[in-house]
């Protein structure tokens, strides 16, 4: 502090000055408050929604899971020993889930089937729309077994109670609409509407034959004092290689939790981006305020107040305003979610308990205060350096001097604290770090580009391009003027538009991939559950249909990887990217010869007549991620039997091709005698789809056809919803950017008023003046749009190419929309604040300007 | 009798204020002929600057008739007034009012470019040379002293070769010596360019250099 020190600072006096200055109202702080409130409210809202879902999942954990604990089995039910062990621990209920084709008269629908026993559900209640208990209704033994279905299915086929429907080889009576399924959220990705029947009904319909793809789980209702950890360990010790997966109420829906955590982390980062953009507005507002306060500051310094005292006074004043902004933001974000959440809760597929949660609100408040301090301190530091004489000269610009060391240190500490708080409090610190790094890079890049653009504009205003074009010269000169705040506007608008650009481009690429690229290579159908004895008839029947082009089939089993190189899978050191492989069961096939299109990357295929110990050909990328090499061993539990196979080769697998692909292809002998079904893909004309569905439904009811186009539409729809959520987040950043833009436009109004007056004196028409103002706004908007495109496209390119591992296509329309959006927004704000200067009376303006 | 460049007949100016309407100018009758040097003097608040603003078409009279350079200023719209200024009327202010984002040369060029005149660059350089600032052509207003800024403003006002130059306290913001230099330049250039000069001033010395002086008091011509 030149000429001042902390000892000279009179804090009591500073406080008095701060309060007196506050009496002047908040007129100069509208943009400051808007930026802070928007950012903080956004973060508070995202945090509150996440907390509501977390609380909902936690309190409904046992209901969602269907029990205190659940053990899942692939392709099989619990063995008698396993069932006995589990029954000794608590009350047991069993369910089975599969996909199948439901036939209603001539209609067909792929459905998610759930078979339940009489004990279902252990927690919560499964009821029909008319109020009856599902398991009681399904348990009735008279006549054909019963079936209940989700409303969407009943409405699609006009089902009424008593209608006969067919599932597999069995006939069922429709009993009513399923209104409440308490454990719905714990299920995986749904490919169709839910139908529920009894396990016995499924068995009679031939859908639980060996080889059919299904999953069963045994749920447990345990005494309230049961030790879940101890029970899990005991089960794993008793059945170490059973291929069963344990879960319990503490983590009832890990998929949902993970998804919510990631989306929340991403949206919180978007909120931080909004705060960063808002920071530009906050800084500009403080600078503008201090410039207006120069006479008061000059008077205080003349009367003996030290630089430290004046600094403290304005720090206190702005701190109080920031505190008010943060509190309003927290109340707004938290209040909106608590108030409106319950209205939307009924439509949420996941449980959420909306309310006011202290932790996310405190977190939003902390981020807001740290960001406000960070962006306020820099302009405030000017008060520590300015000399009283400079104040009296009323220099319009704050002088550029080497900043005070203490201020630099405080800024470094504040930045570290903010970054530390964001990363430390995030549910996904790694994602938060990457996003934060991305924002920092974008921030520096945009600021530098804005600075360079301002310099360029200033240089161009003196160049040949502006010769004889006073309107253009004025516009370029104004963009390049230090007071114009061009770098700030380019940064704020560019960051908002850039987030929007990258999300729009990622979304467009993903949708394009699903809608345009995939269907070209994708088969029309997948068929599952083809019995070995049916295979030849199936092939003949399908290929006889006009429009059928190509059919591929493969034996299909499912297995869980339980060991790698003799080490239990859960303890093996693997790349985190391969976690998904071990999480559930995976498709397994066998083949004597390399399947069509196989590209061997390493190792050799076994001989046609190989009859030795089991060998496996593994997908190369995934195999490497699991730490496998040629000669490694993999233990796979298939139908309760652990098979250990040696890795003989690695294959290149293109998952996106949507042909038949397997992680593991075993040598035929390894699966000798194991009951299994076949999977098939069929390439066919669109016209062939309906006849194939119809005929197969009649002749081979157990075969489940999956129409690829339907599934692509479902995924595309899901992506669209996700895209909408992220676009809302991006809009928050853009809105803050707009606040900054409006703030800058408003701050420049006085300058434009003076310029308009001078130009009128020199003989310029109103149209020429307005044209010049519009030109500068459009040029600034174009600059912001262009830099937004640059970094937004770079970010989208990175995500599409490196994360989704696919080729990037620049969506031209979205690109032009962003560029046009930048111009339109800037032009609107510019013109909004150009009208008053244009209409101002020159005589009055010049009189005021002369002081 | 020469051609009348300015004719004010029973001209009045009333402006609204928060305390009600204020009568700034009342019943002004004034004729200024081509080639005249007229000084308008009077105490602060007497309406001197307002009279100049009305004459320049920057303020619209609320009563009477105003004819400047043959144009009825009370009937013309804003753009017609702008066209008149760009072609035949120059104004110099006490506070200079240069455009801060443009260099000295660019400031001088602006009225010529607005008027679409040929040889704007050459004329601007000549004008800057004539006010002794040929070497400061590329400097921004903030890099010039007050006297230098006023000389740029003078060059800018005279660049389009106006018939009439209006100057509002042209030396009011300058120290005595600099003010004298600027006023010397003002009269010299007006003479050389054959421009009719009307200037508002507090300075008796400056008023004495004009052939005629009109004194305003409380919005009326006192003498």
User: What distance in Å separates residue A782's CA from the closest CA in chain B?
Assistant: 21
Mind listing the pLDDT tens digit for each residue in A428-474? 788 788 878 877 888 888 888 888 888 898 888 888 888 778 888 88
Minimal Cβ distance to A468: which of B79, B120, B156: B120
State the alpha helices, DSSP H only, in A147-253. Answer: 151-156, 199-204, 228-238
DSSP letters for B134-184: GGGTT--GGGS-HHHHHHHHHHHHHTT--SEEEEESTTTTS-HHHHHHHHH
Mutation to test the B interface, candidates A761, A765, A767, A779, most B Cβ within 10 Å: A761
Give the distance, in angstroms, between the CA of residue B219 and the centroid of all CA atoms in the same chain: 19
- Please check the confidence at residue A851 and state whether its pLDDT lies above 60: no
Output the pLDDT for position B154: 92
- Please check the confidence at residue A564 and state whether its pLDDT lies above 70: yes
Show residues of chain A in contact with B84, CB under 8 Å. Answer: 763
- Interchain contact, A765 vs B79, CB within 8 Å: yes
Vertex A490: Cα angle to A489 and A494 (nearest 5): 115
Output the pLDDT for position A848: 61
Across chain B, what does the average pLDDT equal?
89
**Bridging pattern class, strands A91-104 and A107-116:** antiparallel
- Please check the confidence at residue A191 and state whether its pLDDT lies above 70: no
- Please check the confidence at residue A5 and state whether its pLDDT lies above 50: no
- Interchain contact, B111 vs A762, CB within 8 Å: yes
Output the pLDDT for position A655: 60
- Interchain contact, A851 vs B101, CB within 8 Å: no
Q: What are phi and psi of A676, to 5 degrees?
A: -155, 165
- Please check the confidence at residue A652 and state whether its pLDDT lies above 70: yes
Output the pLDDT for position A438: 79
Show residues of chain B in contact with A754, CB under 8 Å. Answer: 97
> What is the spatial distance between Cα A512 and Cα A262, in angstroms, rounded to a whole number?
24
Which residues, 6+ apart, have CB-to-CB distance to A133 below 8 Å? A125, A126, A127
- Please check the confidence at residue A66 and state whether its pLDDT lies above 90: no
Helices and strands (DSSP H and E) totals, chain A: 29, 21
Which residues, 6+ apart, have CB-to-CB distance to B26 below 8 Å? B12, B219, B220
Q: Collapsing DSSP states into helix, strand and coil, what is residue A395?
A: coil
Show residues of chain A in contact with B82, CB under 8 Å. Answer: 760, 763-766
Q: What are phi and psi of A280, to 5 degrees?
A: -60, -45
Contact (CB, 8 A) for A281 and A375: no
Output the pLDDT for position A519: 54
Residues of chain A with pLDDT > 70: what percent? 86
Mutation to test the B interface, candidates A485, A754, A779, A843, most B Cβ within 10 Å: A843
> What is the spatial distance between Cα A386 and Cα A305, in angstroms, rounded to a whole number?
13
- Interchain contact, A842 vs B58, CB within 8 Å: yes
Q: What is the pLDDT averaged over residues A98-109?
A: 81
Which residues, 6+ apart, have CB-to-CB distance to A36 below 8 Å? A275, A278, A282, A322, A325, A326, A329, A368, A371, A372
Nearest CA in chain A to B17: A844
Vertex A539: Cα angle to A534 and A542 (nearest 5): 115
Show residues of chain A in contact with B200, CB under 8 Å. Answer: none
Output the pLDDT for position A318: 92
Mind listing the pLDDT tens digit for each residue in A255-274? 667 777 777 777 777 777 77
Host H or E run for residue A492: helix A486-512
- Please check the confidence at residue A96 and state whether its pLDDT lies above 60: yes
* CA atoms A624, A627, A630, A632: torsion sign: negative
Show residues of chain B in contact with A458, CB under 8 Å. Answer: 101
- Interchain contact, B85 vs A846, CB within 8 Å: no
Show residues of chain B in contact with A843, CB under 8 Å. Answer: 50, 53, 58-59
- Interchain contact, A841 vs B58, CB within 8 Å: yes
DSSP letters for A226-290: --HHHHHHHHHHHSTTS--EEEEGGGS-HHHHHHHHHHHHHHHHHHHHHHHHHHHHHHHHHHHHH
* CA atoms A243, A249, A252, A257: torsion sign: negative
- Interchain contact, B86 vs A758, CB within 8 Å: no
Considering only CB atoms, which residues of chain B are within 8 Å of chain A? Answer: 49-50, 53, 56, 58-59, 78-79, 82-87, 91, 93-95, 97-103, 106, 109-111, 113-115, 120-121, 138, 156, 160
* Tokens standing for residue A522: 């994708």
Mind listing the pLDDT tens digit for each residue in A125-175? 888 888 788 888 887 767 789 999 988 888 878 889 889 999 888 899 999
Mind listing the pLDDT tens digit for each residue in A265-317? 777 777 777 778 788 888 888 888 888 787 778 767 766 677 788 888 899 99
- Interchain contact, B101 vs A762, CB within 8 Å: no
Q: Collapsing DSSP states into helix, strand and coil, what is residue A585?
A: coil
Q: Confidence class of residue A4 from pLDDT cuts 50, 70 and 90? A: very low
- Interchain contact, A762 vs B120, CB within 8 Å: no
- Please check the confidence at residue A205 and state whether its pLDDT lies above 90: no
Q: What is the pLDDT averaged over residues B151-162?
A: 92
Nearest CA in chain B to A463: B106
Give the distance, in angstroms, between the CA of residue A582 and the centroid of all CA atoms in the same chain: 24
* Tokens standing for residue A643: 């098979």
Contact (CB, 8 A) for A497 and A792: yes
DSSP A465: G
Minimal Cβ distance to B102: which of A469, A477, A842: A477
Minimal Cβ distance to A758: which of B50, B97, B160: B97
Paired residues of A382 in beta bridges: none
> What is the spatial distance between Cα A698 and Cα A621, in angstroms, rounded to a whole number?
42
- Interchain contact, A762 vs B93, CB within 8 Å: no
List the one residue out of A32, A674, A631, A702 whose CA is nearest residue A317: A32
Other CB atoms within 10 Å distance of the CB of residue A406 = 12
- Please check the confidence at residue B27 and state whether its pLDDT lies above 90: yes
Output the pLDDT for position A357: 92
Output the pLDDT for position A2: 43
Output the pLDDT for position A817: 82
> What is the spatial distance between Cα A159 and Cα A165, in angstroms, rounded to a whole number?
9
- Interchain contact, A763 vs B109, CB within 8 Å: no
Contact (CB, 8 A) for A107 and A157: yes
Q: Is A81 exposed, middle or buried (0-12, 13-18, 19+ CB in 10 A)?
A: exposed
Question: Comparing B169 with A343, which gets the higher pLDDT?
Answer: B169
- Please check the confidence at residue A515 and state whether its pLDDT lies above 70: no
- Count interface pairs A-B at CB distance under 8 A: 96
Minimal Cβ distance to B82: which of A480, A760, A851: A760
Minimal Cβ distance to A763: which of B85, B93, B103: B85
Vertex B213: Cα angle to B211 and B214 (nearest 5): 150
> What is the spatial distance between Cα A270 and Cα A278, in angstroms, rounded to a whole number?
12
Show residues of chain B in contact with A762, CB under 8 Å. Answer: 85-86, 110-111, 114, 156
- Interchain contact, B78 vs A766, CB within 8 Å: yes
Q: Collapsing DSSP states into helix, strand and coil, what is residue A317?
A: helix
* Tokens standing for residue A559: 């297995």
Contact (CB, 8 A) for A724 and A732: no
Q: pTM value?
A: 0.66
User: What distance in Å separates residue B115's CA from the closest CA in chain A?
Assistant: 8
Q: What is the pLDDT averaged over residues A311-340?
A: 92
Residue listed under structure tokens 């499912």: A558
CA distances from B47 to B14, B44, B209 (A): 11, 8, 21
Q: Confidence class of residue A396 from pLDDT cuts 50, 70 and 90? A: very low
Output the pLDDT for position A51: 86
Q: Confidence class of residue B34 from pLDDT cuts 50, 70 and 90? A: very high
Q: What is the pLDDT averaged over residues B60-85?
A: 89
Minimal Cβ distance to A473: which of B56, B58, B102: B102
Mutation to test the B interface, candidates A399, A470, A477, most B Cβ within 10 Å: A470
Which residues, 6+ apart, have CB-to-CB distance to A532 below 8 Å? A211, A555, A676, A677, A678
Q: Confidence class of residue A3 from pLDDT cuts 50, 70 and 90? A: very low
User: What distance in Å separates residue B118's CA from the closest CA in chain A?
Assistant: 9
Other CB atoms within 10 Å distance of the CB of residue A816 = 12
Mind listing the pLDDT tens digit for each residue in A790-804? 888 888 888 778 766
User: What distance in Å separates residue A6's CA from the closest CA in chain B?
Assistant: 35
Contact (CB, 8 A) for A443 and A491: yes
- Interchain contact, A842 vs B94, CB within 8 Å: no
Which residues, 6+ apart, have CB-to-CB distance to A6 below 8 Å? A308
Output the pLDDT for position B156: 92
Q: Helix/strand/coil (H, E, C) string of A17-64?
A: HHHHHHCCCCHHHHHHHHHHHHHHHHHHHHHHHHHHHHHHHHHCHHHH
> What is the spatial distance between Cα A557 and Cα A671, in angstroms, rounded to a whole number?
9
Which residues, 6+ apart, have CB-to-CB distance to A700 below 8 Å? A530, A534, A537, A538, A541
Q: What is the pLDDT averaged over residues B8-16?
A: 93
Q: What ipTM score was computed for the predicted complex, to two decimals?
A: 0.76
Other CB atoms within 10 Å distance of the CB of residue A611 = 10
Across chain A, what does the average pLDDT equal?
81
State the alpha helices, DSSP H only, in A700-807. Answer: 708-747, 749-761, 766-798
CA distances from A583 to A68, A246, A491, A627, B151 (A): 20, 11, 43, 16, 82
> What is the spatial distance between Cα A714 and Cα A357, in angstroms, rounded to a whole number?
34
Show residues of chain A in contact with B101, CB under 8 Å. Answer: 458, 461, 474, 477-478, 480-481
């Amino acid at each position: 502090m030149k000429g001042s020190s902390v000892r000279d600072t009179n804090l009591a006096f500073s406080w008095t000055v701060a309060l007196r200055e506050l009496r002047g109202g908040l007129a100069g702080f509208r943009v400051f408050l808007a930026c802070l409130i928007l950012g903080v409210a956004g973060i508070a809202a995202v945090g509150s929604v996440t907390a509501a879902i977390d609380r909902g999942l936690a309190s409904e954990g046992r209901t969602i899971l269907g029990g205190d604990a659940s053990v899942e089995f692939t392709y099989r039910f619990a063995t008698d020993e396993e069932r006995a062990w589990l029954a000794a621990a608590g009350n047991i209920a069993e369910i089975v889930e599969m996909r199948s084709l439901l036939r209603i008269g001539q209609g067909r629908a792929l459905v998610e089937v759930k078979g339940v026993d009489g004990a279902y559900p252990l927690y919560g209640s499964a009821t029909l729309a008319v109020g009856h208990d599902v398991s009681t209704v399904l348990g009735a033994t008279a006549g054909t077994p019963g079936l209940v279905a989700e409303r969407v299915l009943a409405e699609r086929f006009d089902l009424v109670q008593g209608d006969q429907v067919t599932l597999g080889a069995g006939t069922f009576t429709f009993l009513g609409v399923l209104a409440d399924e308490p454990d719905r959220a714990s299920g995986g990705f749904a490919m169709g509407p839910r139908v529920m029947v009894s396990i016995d009904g499924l068995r009679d319909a031939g859908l639980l034959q060996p080889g059919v793809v299904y999953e069963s789980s045994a749920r447990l209702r345990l005494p309230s004092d049961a030790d879940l950890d101890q029970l899990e360990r005991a089960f794993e010790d008793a059945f170490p290689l059973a291929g069963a997966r344990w879960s319990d109420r503490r983590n009832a829906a890990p998929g949902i939790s993970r998804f919510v955590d990631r989306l929340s982390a991403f949206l919180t980062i978007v909120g931080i981006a909004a705060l960063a953009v808002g920071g530009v507005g906050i800084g500009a507002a403080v600078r503008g305020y201090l410039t207006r306060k120069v006479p008061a500051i000059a008077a205080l310094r003349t009367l003996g107040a030290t630089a430290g005292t004046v600094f403290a006074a304005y720090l206190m004043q702005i701190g109080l305003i920031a505190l008010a902004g943060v509190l309003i933001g927290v109340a707004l974000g938290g209040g909106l979610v608590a108030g409106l959440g319950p209205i939307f809760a009924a439509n949420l597929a996941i449980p959420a308990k909306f309310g006011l949660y202290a932790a996310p609100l405190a977190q939003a408040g902390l981020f807001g205060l740290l960001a406000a301090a960070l962006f306020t301190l820099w302009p405030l530091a000017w008060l520590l350096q300015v000399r009283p004489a400079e104040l009296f000269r009323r220099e319009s610009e704050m002088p550029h001097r080497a900043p005070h060391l203490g201020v630099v240190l405080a800024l470094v500490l504040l930045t570290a604290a903010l970054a530390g708080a964001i990363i430390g409090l995030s549910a996904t610190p790694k994602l938060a770090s990457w996003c934060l790094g991305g924002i920092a890079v974008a921030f520096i890049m945009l600021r530098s580009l804005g600075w360079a653009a301002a310099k360029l504009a200033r240089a161009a205003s003196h160049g040949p391009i502006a010769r004889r074009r006073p309107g253009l010269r004025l516009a370029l000169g104004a963009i390049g003027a230090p007071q114009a705040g061009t770098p700030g506007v380019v940064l704020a608008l560019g960051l908002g538009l850039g987030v929007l650009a990258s999300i729009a481009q990622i979304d467009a690429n993903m949708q394009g991939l699903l809608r345009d690229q995939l269907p070209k290579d994708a088969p029309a159908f997948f068929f599952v559950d083809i019995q070995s004895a049916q295979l030849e008839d199936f092939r003949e029947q399908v290929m006889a249909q006009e429009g059928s082009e190509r059919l591929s089939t493969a034996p299909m089993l499912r297995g869980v990887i339980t060991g790698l190189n003799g080490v239990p899978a859960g303890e093996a050191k693997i790349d985190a990217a391969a976690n998904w492989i071990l999480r559930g069961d995976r498709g397994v096939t066998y083949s004597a010869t390399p399947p069509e299109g196989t590209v061997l990357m390493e190792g050799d295929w076994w001989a046609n007549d190989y009859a030795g110990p089991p060998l496996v050909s593994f997908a190369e990328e995934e195999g490497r991620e699991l730490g496998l090499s040629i000669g490694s061993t993999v233990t796979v539990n298939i139908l309760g039997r652990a098979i250990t196979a040696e890795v003989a080769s690695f294959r290149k697998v293109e998952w996106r091709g949507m042909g038949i692909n397997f992680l593991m292809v075993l040598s035929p002998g390894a699966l000798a005698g194991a009951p299994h079904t076949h999977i098939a893909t069929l390439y066919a004309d669109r016209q062939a789809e309906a006849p194939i569905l119809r005929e197969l439904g009649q002749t081979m009811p157990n075969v489940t056809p999956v129409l690829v186009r339907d599934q692509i539409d479902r995924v595309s729809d899901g992506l669209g919803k996700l895209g909408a959520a992220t676009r809302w987040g991006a809009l928050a950043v853009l809105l803050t950017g707009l606040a900054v833009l409006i703030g800058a436009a408003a701050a420049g109004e006085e300058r434009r008023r003076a310029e308009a007056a001078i130009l009128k004196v020199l003989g310029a028409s109103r149209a020429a003046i307005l044209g010049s103002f519009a030109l500068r706004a459009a040029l600034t908007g174009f600059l912001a749009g262009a830099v937004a495109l640059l970094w937004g496209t770079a970010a989208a390119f990175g995500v599409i190419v490196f994360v989704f591992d696919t080729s990037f296509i620049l969506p031209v329309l979205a690109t032009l929309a962003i560029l046009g959006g930048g111009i339109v927004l800037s032009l609107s704000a510019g013109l909004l604040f150009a009208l008053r200067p244009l209409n101002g009376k020159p005589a009055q303006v010049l009189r005021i300007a002369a002081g | 009798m020469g051609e009348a460049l300015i004719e004010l007949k029973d001209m009045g100016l009333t402006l609204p204020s928060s305390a009600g309407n204020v009568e700034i100018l009342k019943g002004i009758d004034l004729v200024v002929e081509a080639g005249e040097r007229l000084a308008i003097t009077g105490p602060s608040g007497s309406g001197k600057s307002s009279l100049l603003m009305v004459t320049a078409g920057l303020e619209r009279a609320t009563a009477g008739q105003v004819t400047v350079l043959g144009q009825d200023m009370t009937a013309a719209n804003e753009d017609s007034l702008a066209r008149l200024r760009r072609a035949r009327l120059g104004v110099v202010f006490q506070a200079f009012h240069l455009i801060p984002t443009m260099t000295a040369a660019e400031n001088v060029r602006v009225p010529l470019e607005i008027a679409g005149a040929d040889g704007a660059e050459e004329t601007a350089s000549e004008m800057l040379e004539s006010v002794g600032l040929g070497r400061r052509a590329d400097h921004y207003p903030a890099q010039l002293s007050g006297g230098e800024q006023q000389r740029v403003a003078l060059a800018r006002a005279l660049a389009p070769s106006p018939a009439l130059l209006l100057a509002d306290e042209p030396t009011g913001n300058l120290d005595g010596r600099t003010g004298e230099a600027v006023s010397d330049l003002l009269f010299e250039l007006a003479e050389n360019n054959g421009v009719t000069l009307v200037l508002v001033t507090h300075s008796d010395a400056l008023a004495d250099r004009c052939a005629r002086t009109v004194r305003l008091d409380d919005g009326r011509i006192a003498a």
